[in-house]
Chains A and B, each alone.
Chain A
Amino acid sequence: MTNMPDIKNRYYKSYNEINLHLPGLDLEWMKRLRDDAITQFHQDGFPDKSVEEWNVNSFKGLTDTFYSTQQENSYETDVPSIDKKDTDCLVRVIFNNGKIINIEHDELPTGIQVNTLNFFIKNNPDFLKEKIKPADEYSESRLSNIIDSRPQSIVALNAAFHEDGAIIHIDKNIEVPGYIELLHIGDYSDKTMKHIRSVIFIDKGSKCEVLENIQSHKNNNMIFTSNVTDIHLSDGASLSYNRFISGNSKNIHINNVHAQLDKNSTFISNSLINAKGQVRNEVRTNLLGEHCISNINVLMMGAKKSLHETLIKVKHATKNTKSKQVIRTILDESSRGSFQGKIRVEEGADGTLAEMSGKSLLLSNDARVNAKPELEILADDVKCSHGVTVGTLSKEQLFYLQSRGIPEHEARKLLINSFSNTIINNISNVLLKKAKNFILEDFNEND
């Protein structure tokens, strides 16, 4: 993936042309944040294969196509019909083409705020100032102590161009009744991009469940979207963060989550990715307080010519913290997948418990998967494990099922489901049905 020579300049120029319309420019810190971010992107460009985190596959159409922020369609017109909000869903925020069209909720208990980035920019900018950090703070620090901003250049592009997002703010000691859904739908114009910036802050002792639901677009234009979400869990807080990501064959979606975990907090991240196009899922958790827990589960299901990538970085920054990563990849036809997972245990972070398991199932001779599990351990007293396997459907298992009267296509489905159940079983009851429908909806085995 080499950058087209003037691609960086075109985004830079485009930023200077449109930046008057971007939200928050009247805030000095926000303007500086955006300006610095575009400068950083202008320097780095899109990450190429010389960047460790991006050295497996190339995203087609990312570095040789310019995506404009200008939509031909006016936002409010032709809002698609959407299913009714689930009864278990407390609040649903609907973004159409990246623009808020509705926040649906019944009476909200006090202490629960769910609104848009634009609303917070107008009403509570100081809250955002602490939570949305300058782009360079997302850089990777290498073992050689070099700070490398290149892997995060799409986060920088997002910081420069983001137009809206969802903000969830839960006060102390509240158990949010029902989940919060952030639903993204759209019918973007060809060669356009949209950047969404969201913040989730759960105060001490509170508990919350969120679903970020990124649906396929109605058309199949070339579209580049990025969602960046910053999560902060205070002492004893707990968040279950679920993402269902689909997309059409010409869509590129890059999704970044950065979570910061204070003392005794619990972060559960379940991602189901079932897209026909190219998706990259990045989750970085920073375990800052003692006895915090990070559980990250990912299911990637690819078919045709799709590309799914997951990058997970878990940083154990203090004593007695626990993390688990479970990644399952199922690839059919000529799809591609990759998983990179890194557990880093900082100096002095004794008592760390960390485990990682990545398994891939290839359903076709043309499917390819890459897996790179890594451990960087700078502490002495830790327990870390990692394991990666790649395989195909077992002939022995298929024969066993068939010998009991189960037809081959049904036997294959049963085995594929059993493989994905490792991830699906982590999903809470209120989202389970939706999750099962989601993986069935788009993933058709050739039968």
Chain B
Amino acid sequence: MTIALEIKDLHVEVNDKKILKGLSLNIEHGEMAAIMGPNGAGKSTLASVLAGKDGYNILSGSVKYLGKNLLDMPTDERAAAGVFLAFQYPVEIPGVATSTFVRTALNAQRRHRGEDELDAIEFLKLARAKAKELEMSEDFFKREVNVGFSGGEKKRAEIFQMSMLSPILAILDETDSGLDIDALKIVAEGVNKLRNDKLCGIVITHYQRLLEYLKPDTIHILADGKIVKTGDKSLALVLEEKGYQGIIEAA
């Protein structure tokens, strides 16, 4: 297995407050890594920094993605290079149809990679096939992006976008938040269907529940801006028993 993402000693501050304090993490192709940790540990900051959101001040450290310096790339180029962030709170965009949005995104990425754009018919064919795989109704193609979607629909729409854009690095930021158990299962199954040798994932979550379905290869505990413990899925069970505090103290 080769390393897809290599984060080394990353220090990041937001509004003059240090959030990440020397975070290091390697993820290999095909690996599903879960990041768990208490509130305020820096989980969402890590997701935002990887996706290229404004407002995060990188103090030191490096992030290498497919051998390139990820932090140097603008957000849209990261996406074209295969980085996908499933948002904790997907953003509503009134007036833009979901199909228009996804097609614009897919074609922008293809253009950036020097590939031919998909025309409306080719796009629809692909979108239909992907929607079917995720057991989603095609009605939502026409609906405005995330407008009036239920919590479950929003998260499923994120997974649909992920499937359309076929990323190499998928970051799922608390994709389980606000989902009932049935919706959670559907979303997790959707992600599982997308797994392949190349795709690596960072699953950020508070709860062990999502991991029962997603079956991560590794689990990393993030506390106070650092990875304090790494293990296999049995770590989640220890966590369930001892809580974060127990693990952080032991580490």
Residues of A near any B CB (own CB < 8 A) = 394-397, 399-408, 410-411, 414-415, 417-419, 421-422
Q: Which residue of A is nearest B87, CB measured?
A: A400
Known: A400-B87, A405-B109. A415 touches B93 (CB 8 A): yes
Q: Which of chain B's residues 126-179 have a Cβ closer than 8 Å to chain A?
A: 161, 165
* 8 contacting pairs across A/B (C-beta < 8 A): A400-B87, A404-B165, A405-B108, A405-B109, A405-B165, A414-B101, A418-B95, A419-B95
Q: Which of chain B's residues 5-47 have a Cβ closer than 8 Å to chain A?
A: none
Contact between B94 and A401 (Cβ–Cβ < 8 Å)? no
Q: Which residue of A is nearest B83, CB measured?
A: A403
| Minimum-distance CB pairs A-B, first 5 | A418-B95, A405-B79, A404-B105, A405-B109, A400-B91
Bound form: Cα–Cα A421–B96 in Å: 9
Q: Which residue of A is nearest B82, CB measured?
A: A405
Contact between B91 and A396 (Cβ–Cβ < 8 Å)? yes
Bound form: Cα–Cα A303–B53 in Å: 29
Bound form: Cα–Cα A396–B105 in Å: 16
Q: Which residues of A contact B85 (CB under 8 A)?
A: 403
Contact between B108 and A418 (Cβ–Cβ < 8 Å)? no
Contact between A422 and B93 (Cβ–Cβ < 8 Å)? no
Q: Which residues of A contact B102 (CB under 8 A)?
A: 404
Contact between B54 and A407 (Cβ–Cβ < 8 Å)? no
Q: Which residues of B contact A411 (CB under 8 A)?
A: 76
20 A-B pairs besides A405-B105, A419-B95, A421-B95 with CB distance below 8 A are: A397-B93, A399-B53, A400-B90, A400-B93, A402-B52, A403-B52, A403-B53, A403-B75, A403-B76, A403-B84, A404-B101, A404-B161, A405-B79, A405-B165, A406-B76, A407-B108, A414-B100, A414-B101, A418-B94, A418-B95
B60, CB-defined interface residue at 8 Å = no
Contact flags (1/0) for B183-210 with A, using CB distance below 8 Å?
0000000000000000000000000000
Contact between A402 and B75 (Cβ–Cβ < 8 Å)? yes
B4, CB-defined interface residue at 8 Å = no
Contact between B104 and A410 (Cβ–Cβ < 8 Å)? yes
Bound form: Cα–Cα A419–B106 in Å: 22
Contact between B51 and A403 (Cβ–Cβ < 8 Å)? yes
Q: Which residues of A contact B112 (CB under 8 A)?
A: 405
Question: Of A395, A396, A397, A406, which contacts B104 at CB under 8 A?
Answer: A406
Contact between A395 and B93 (Cβ–Cβ < 8 Å)? no
Kindly provide the distance from the CB of B14 to the nearest chain A CB, expressed in whole angstroms.
15
Contact flags (1/0) for B60-88 with A, using CB distance below 8 Å?
00000000000000111011100011010
Q: Which residue of B is nearest A408, CB measured?
A: B76
Bound form: Cα–Cα A406–B104 in Å: 7
Kindly provide the distance from the CB of A206 to the nearest chain B CB, expressed in whole angstroms.
34
Bound form: Cα–Cα A440–B139 in Å: 30
Kindly provide the distance from the CB of A445 to the nearest chain B CB, expressed in whole angstroms.
16
Q: Which residue of B is nearest A407, CB measured?
A: B76
Q: Which residues of A contact B100 (CB under 8 A)?
A: 414
Q: Which residues of A contact B94 (CB under 8 A)?
A: 418
Q: Which residue of A is nearest B93, CB measured?
A: A397
Contact between A397 and B91 (Cβ–Cβ < 8 Å)? yes
Question: Of A402, A410, A418, which contacts B93 at CB under 8 A?
Answer: A418
Q: Which residues of B contact A402 (CB under 8 A)?
A: 52, 74-76, 79
Bound form: Cα–Cα A157–B113 in Å: 61
Question: Of A399, A405, A415, A422, which contacts B54 at CB under 8 A?
Answer: A399
Contact between A404 and B79 (Cβ–Cβ < 8 Å)? yes
Contact between A405 and B87 (Cβ–Cβ < 8 Å)? no
Kindly provide the distance from the CB of B72 to the nearest chain A CB, expressed in whole angstroms.
16
Contact between B95 and A401 (Cβ–Cβ < 8 Å)? no
Kindly provide the distance from the CB of A414 to the nearest chain B CB, expressed in whole angstroms.
6
Q: Which residue of B is nearest A416, CB measured?
A: B95
Q: Which residues of B contact A395 (CB under 8 A)?
A: 54
Bound form: Cα–Cα A333–B112 in Å: 30
Question: Of A399, A405, A407, A414, which contacts B96 at CB under 8 A?
Answer: A414
Bound form: Cα–Cα A422–B78 in Å: 32
Question: Of B84, B95, B108, B109, which contacts A417 at CB under 8 A?
Answer: B95
Q: Which residue of A is nearest B104, CB measured?
A: A406
Kindly provide the distance from the CB of B153 to the nearest chain A CB, expressed in whole angstroms.
16
Bound form: Cα–Cα A397–B145 in Å: 10
Contact between A414 and B104 (Cβ–Cβ < 8 Å)? yes
Bound form: Cα–Cα A133–B8 in Å: 80
Bound form: Cα–Cα A407–B94 in Å: 19
Q: Which residues of B contact A394 (CB under 8 A)?
A: 91
Bound form: Cα–Cα A422–B91 in Å: 19
Bound form: Cα–Cα A404–B100 in Å: 13
Kindly provide the distance from the CB of B30 to the nearest chain A CB, expressed in whole angstroms.
23
A402, A403, A410 interface centre (most CB from chain B within 10 Å) = A403
Bound form: Cα–Cα A402–B112 in Å: 13
Bound form: Cα–Cα A366–B90 in Å: 31
Bound form: Cα–Cα A397–B112 in Å: 21
Kindly provide the distance from the CB of B220 to the nearest chain A CB, expressed in whole angstroms.
23
Contact between B76 and A405 (Cβ–Cβ < 8 Å)? yes
Q: Which residues of B contact A406 (CB under 8 A)?
A: 76, 104-105, 108
Kindly provide the distance from the CB of A415 to the nearest chain B CB, expressed in whole angstroms.
7
Q: Which residues of B contact A414 (CB under 8 A)?
A: 96, 100-101, 104
Kindly provide the distance from the CB of A195 to the nearest chain B CB, expressed in whole angstroms.
38
A400, A404, A417 interface centre (most CB from chain B within 10 Å) = A404
Q: Which residue of A is nearest B100, CB measured?
A: A414
Bound form: Cα–Cα A418–B94 in Å: 7
Q: Which residues of A contact B104 (CB under 8 A)?
A: 406, 410, 414
Bound form: Cα–Cα A410–B244 in Å: 43
